[in-house]
Chain A
Amino acid sequence: MSEFIAQTAERVREHAARKSPLRIVGGGTKGFLGAPSAGEPLEVSSYSGIVAYEPRELVLTVKAGTRLADIEQALAAEGQMLPFEPPRFGEAATIGGTVACNLSGPRRPYAGAARDFVLGARIVNGKGEDLSFGGRVIKNVAGYDVSRLMAGAFGTLGILTELSFKVLPRPAAEATLAFEMGEAPMIDCVNKWAGQPLPISATAWESGVLRVRLSGAASAVEAARVKLGGTDVPDGPDYWRALREQELPFFQGTAPLWRLSVAQTAAPLGLSLPQLVEWGGGQRWLRGEAEAGPMRDAAQKARGHATRFRGGDPADGVFHPLAPAIAKIHRRLKDAFDPAGILNPGRMDNF
C-alpha cells in the first residue's frame, strides 16, 4: 500500500473514532458545487500520476489527485480522450473531483457520462479501509458495481484514491454548424437527428441559435454537414470549450444557476428565465433568482430533476429531494460505508 493511502486510512480511522468530520479537497475547483460541508480539510491532490496507460487496451489507471489537464495531455499524445469531455472549472481540477461530482461535458448524451467510463475505483471508506472495486478491463461483472456508485457520490461514501477508465480515440474530424430556430422546433430537431446514424457529438441552444457539433471520420462529418445544412461556425472548438467551462456570457454574473436534467424530448419548460439548452434537450440551464419549489416542479413535470448548481439560497438545499424509498437505501449505504458520518457530511444535502 502506498504511503499516501496508508496515511489517509489512518487519518480516517482516527477521525472516525472521534466522529470528527473530514472535508475532502482535491484541486479546490468544485467547492461551489453541492451543499457546504464542515470538517477539517483532507488534501488529496498530492496523490497524483498515471499508474498505467495502455493506449491499445483503451484503459487508463490514474491516482485520483492527477490533474485533468495532465490526463488529457497524456491521452492526446496517443490520439485518445476521456469521452465524457469533463469540465474543469479551473486548471487545478483533479480526476478524483471530476468523478466524485460525476461531471460530464457536451459529449455526454452521445458518448456517456463519467460514470459510464469508470472501470474501477480504489477508495478509502469511512472506516479507514483501503478497498478496490471493479477492475482494469472493459467487461467485468464480478461483485456489485461499487466503482460506478462512487461517481456522483461527492466523496460521501469514500475517498477516491485510484481510478481506472475506458478511454476512446479522438475523432479524426470535427465541424460545428449553426441554425436559427426557436426552442420547440429545436427540441424536435435535435431529437429527430439523434435517432439517425449521424455523427453528432454535442448540441447547444440559446437566444434562438442552435449549434451542433459533428465528430468522426472526415467522410462522415462531411456527409452529415451536407445533409444537415446550416451555417459553418469557424470558432467551434472555442465555443464548445467555453460552454463546457461555463465561460460563455450566459454563465457570467452572480445570478443563481439552476441545472435541470430532464427527458430530452420534454417540451419547453416555459419558465421566464434566461435559458441555455444542451445535451440534445436533456440538460437545461436557467439563470436568475428563482424559488426552489417551482424549479423542482418544472423539472419533475419534464420527467427529471433540478440542481441548484451555483449561488442561490442555501436554505433551499442543492439537490432534488429523494423519494422516501430511495432515501431509505441512501441512508443505509451511507451508514455502511461511513458509519461515523465523517466523510463530507451534508455535501449531498442529507448525506
Chain B
Amino acid sequence: MAHAPPPAPRGAVLAALAAVRPPLSVVAEAERLAAFETDAYIQVRQTPLAAVLPESEADVIGLVRALAPIGVPVVTRGAGTGISGGAIPHADGVLAVLTRLRAIVRIDAAARLAVVEPGVPNAQVSEAARPAGLHFAPDPSSQVVSTIGGNIAENAGGVHCLKYGLTVHNVLGVRLVDGEGDLLEIGGEALDAPGYDLLALVTGSEGNLGLITRATLRLLPRPESTQTVLAAFDTVKAGAEAVGAIIGAGLVPAALEMMDRVVIDACERYMALGLPKAEALLLVEVDGGREEADEALGQVEALLAASGATEVRVAKDEDERAKLWKSRKGAFAALASVLPDYYTMDGTIPRRALPEVLDAVYALGREYGLTIGNVFHAGDGNMHPCIFYDATKPGEFERSEELGGKILELCIDHGGTITGEHGVGLEKLKQMCLQFREGEIAAFHDVKRAFDPAGILNPGKAVPTLKRCAEWGGMHVRAGRIPRPDIPRF
C-alpha cells in the first residue's frame, strides 16, 4: 500500500468545497457537526472536518471532484442506523450526508420497479408501492428510518431473506459516483447488464466504491395470504431441528425466527405477552396465494408437533399475528431492560451447528461473567447474540467487545462468517483477518482501487490493510491451528 499523503488542511478543504458551483450546502460549525459524530456503533465518535448535504446528483459529483484532487476522505452517511460503524466520520475528511436526496422518482407498477434517491427510507418504498399491490422485500429491523442507499451499501437483510433474498437480489440498478467523480450507470431496468457484475460488487461495499445517487429496485407482489405460527421447545436443539424438518419437507417459509430463554424472559418481563415457558421459541411465517399459505400452514403445524414442540399457537387474524411478532420485533427493546447497554453480534453459521455454537456462546458468557441473549434468523443461520454490559462499570465494555470477537471466531470455526447483514465497518476489521487470507484481502483492495484509485472513499473501513492484519497477528497465528481444518473456508 502506498503511503497516504499528509492530510489537507481544514482551510483548504473548506475552500475546495466553497468553490463548487452550484454551491453546496456545507456544515462546518463544531456544534452542528456533533450530530454526525457517530452512527449506531456508538462506541466510536469522531467529528469530520465538514459535512455536506447534497441536494442533487450534480452536488455529489461536484463534491467528489472537489475533494479527490486534494486526497480528502469522503464518508457517506444515510440515516446513520448502521451498527458496525460504516458511517463514522473520518477526522481529516468530509461527511456526505445523503438524506436530502429523498425523492421517490417513480413507482412503475406494470414493470414492478421503483426508482428512488438514496435517502429514501426503506419502509417508504413499500408504502408507496402498496396501492399497486407491491412491496420492496428487504426489511431490516431499522426499515422505518434506514435509507435505501444505506441498505444497498450494507446489502441489508431482514427477517424474510430465506424466501425473498437479500438487498443484492432486489436491486436492478444504481447510479454511482466513483472515487474519481465519474458517474457510473450500473444495471437498469433489464434483468442483466453487459460486462462484469459491478452491481454485485457495489451492493454491500459499505461506501468504499462510490456514492449511490439513485437506485432501481425490484418490487414483488404482496402475498395474498400470510400465516404465522409460534412454537415452544424444551431445548434450542429441538427448535433448530424443527427448522431443519420444515426445510427438509420442501417448504420455504417467509420467516423462521428463533429466540432463546434470555430473550423470552426479557420480552415477558417487558411486555407481558403471555409467551409459553420455553427454552426456545420459533416463529414461522408462510405466505403466498391463499391456498398455498393454508396448505403450508397445515404442513408446518404437523412438522412442529412431530419435532416435539411443547406448544403451538397459530395466529387467527391480523391482530394475533401482530401479537406473535411483537416478541420478536420488540426483543431488542425488551433486552435493553435487562441491562442498559448491549452489543449485538451478527455471525452466520450453517444451521446444523446452531446447538453446538450456542452452547459455546453460553460458556463464553459464563467465562466473561456477561449475560448473552440470542435471537436468530434461523432459516438462514444468521445469529444475533446480544451481549449485556454496564458501560458505567470500568472495563465492562472492553470485556464485552472481546467476548464478541470470540463469538465471531466461533462462527468462522464452524464454517460461517463474521457478518450476515450488518457489515464489517470499523467493528469487525480484526476478524476479517481471520476469515480471509492475505490473497483475498489483497483482492478486495484491488476491487477498491478499481473504483477509487486514490482511496478517498470511506478509508479504513470494511477491509483491513494487510499491515493491520500482520500487526494483529491474526492471520499468522490462526492459520496453523484452525480447530476444524476439514471445513472448507468458503
Interface residues of A (CB under 8 A from B): 51-52, 54-59, 61, 79, 102, 108-109, 112-113, 115-116, 120-122, 125, 129-146, 148-149, 151-153, 157, 162, 164, 168-170, 172, 188, 191-192, 194-199, 216-220, 222-224, 261-265, 279, 282-283, 303-305, 307, 319-323, 325-330, 332-333, 336-337, 348, 351
- Assess A145 versus B185: contact at CB under 8 Å? Given A191-B112, A322-B194: no
Is B466 at the interface (CB under 8 A from chain A)? no
Please measure, in the bound complex, the distance between the C-alpha atom of A55 and the C-alpha atom of B379, giving whole angstroms: 13
CB neighbours of B169 from chain A (8 A): 112, 116
B440 to chain A minimum Cβ distance, whole angstroms, is 5
> A132-B437, A138-B380 given. 17 additional CB < 8 A pairs?
A56-B245, A56-B247, A56-B248, A79-B250, A131-B443, A133-B490, A135-B416, A139-B348, A148-B200, A149-B447, A195-B221, A220-B288, A223-B290, A223-B292, A263-B188, A329-B198, A333-B196
- Assess A113 versus B436: contact at CB under 8 Å? Given A79-B250, A141-B419, A142-B418: no
Is B154 at the interface (CB under 8 A from chain A)? yes
CB neighbours of B197 from chain A (8 A): 102, 115, 148-149, 151-153
B112 to chain A minimum Cβ distance, whole angstroms, is 5
Stretch at the interface among B6-14, B44-52, B176-184: B176-184
**Cross-chain contact of A326 among B198, B382, B444, B446 (Cβ < 8 A):** B198
Please measure, in the bound complex, the distance between the C-alpha atom of A224 and the C-alpha atom of B157, giving whole angstroms: 30
5 contacts between A and B (CB under 8 A): A115-B197, A134-B490, A138-B382, A327-B195, A329-B196
Cβ of A304 and Cβ of B189 under 8 Å apart?
A: yes
A64 to chain B minimum Cβ distance, whole angstroms, is 13
Using CB atoms, name the residue of chain B closest to A332: B450
CB neighbours of A279 from chain B (8 A): 191
Cβ of A322 and Cβ of B195 under 8 Å apart?
A: yes
Cβ of B224 and Cβ of A197 under 8 Å apart?
A: yes
Cβ of A56 and Cβ of B200 under 8 Å apart?
A: no
Please measure, in the bound complex, the distance between the C-alpha atom of A169 and the C-alpha atom of B253, giving whole angstroms: 12
Cβ of B178 and Cβ of A329 under 8 Å apart?
A: yes
The B146-191 residues at the A interface (CB cut-off 8 A) are 154-155, 157, 161-162, 165-166, 168-169, 178, 182-186, 188-191
Interface residues of B (CB under 8 A from A): 108-112, 132-134, 154-155, 157, 161-162, 165-166, 168-169, 178, 182-186, 188-198, 200-201, 203-205, 208-209, 221-224, 244-245, 247-248, 250-252, 288-292, 294-296, 348-352, 377, 379-382, 415-424, 428, 432, 435-437, 439-440, 443-444, 446-451, 453, 462-463, 488-490
Using CB atoms, name the residue of chain B closest to A322: B195
Please measure, in the bound complex, the distance between the C-alpha atom of A183 and the C-alpha atom of B311, giving whole angstroms: 54
A76 to chain B minimum Cβ distance, whole angstroms, is 12
Using CB atoms, name the residue of chain B closest to A329: B450
CB neighbours of B221 from chain A (8 A): 194-198
Q: How many residue-residue contacts, CB under 8 A, span A and B?
A: 294
Please measure, in the bound complex, the distance between the C-alpha atom of A328 and the C-alpha atom of B195, giving whole angstroms: 12
Using CB atoms, name the residue of chain A closest to B173: A303
CB neighbours of A337 from chain B (8 A): 443, 446
Cβ of B292 and Cβ of A216 under 8 Å apart?
A: yes
B406 to chain A minimum Cβ distance, whole angstroms, is 17
CB neighbours of B185 from chain A (8 A): 323, 325-326
- Assess A261 versus B292: contact at CB under 8 Å? Given A145-B204, A337-B443: no
B334 to chain A minimum Cβ distance, whole angstroms, is 24
Please measure, in the bound complex, the distance between the C-alpha atom of A46 and the C-alpha atom of B165, giving whole angstroms: 33
CB neighbours of A148 from chain B (8 A): 168, 197, 200-201
B321 to chain A minimum Cβ distance, whole angstroms, is 17
Cβ of B201 and Cβ of A122 under 8 Å apart?
A: no
Please measure, in the bound complex, the distance between the C-alpha atom of A229 and the C-alpha atom of B290, giving whole angstroms: 18
Please measure, in the bound complex, the distance between the C-alpha atom of A217 and the C-alpha atom of B295, giving whole angstroms: 8
A269 to chain B minimum Cβ distance, whole angstroms, is 13
Cβ of A143 and Cβ of B440 under 8 Å apart?
A: yes
Cβ of B488 and Cβ of A58 under 8 Å apart?
A: no
- Assess A144 versus B189: contact at CB under 8 Å? Given A130-B439, A139-B348, A307-B194: no
Using CB atoms, name the residue of chain B closest to A319: B194
CB neighbours of B166 from chain A (8 A): 139
Please measure, in the bound complex, the distance between the C-alpha atom of A348 and the C-alpha atom of B193, giving whole angstroms: 13
CB neighbours of B193 from chain A (8 A): 305
Most buried by B among A143, A164, A219, A323: A143
CB neighbours of A112 from chain B (8 A): 165, 169
**Cross-chain contact of A197 among B201, B289, B424, B448 (Cβ < 8 A):** B289
Cβ of A144 and Cβ of B444 under 8 Å apart?
A: yes
Please measure, in the bound complex, the distance between the C-alpha atom of A41 and the C-alpha atom of B436, giving whole angstroms: 31
Please measure, in the bound complex, the distance between the C-alpha atom of A199 and the C-alpha atom of B188, giving whole angstroms: 25
Cβ of B155 and Cβ of A141 under 8 Å apart?
A: yes
Cβ of B351 and Cβ of A57 under 8 Å apart?
A: yes
Cβ of A265 and Cβ of B108 under 8 Å apart?
A: yes
CB neighbours of B448 from chain A (8 A): 144
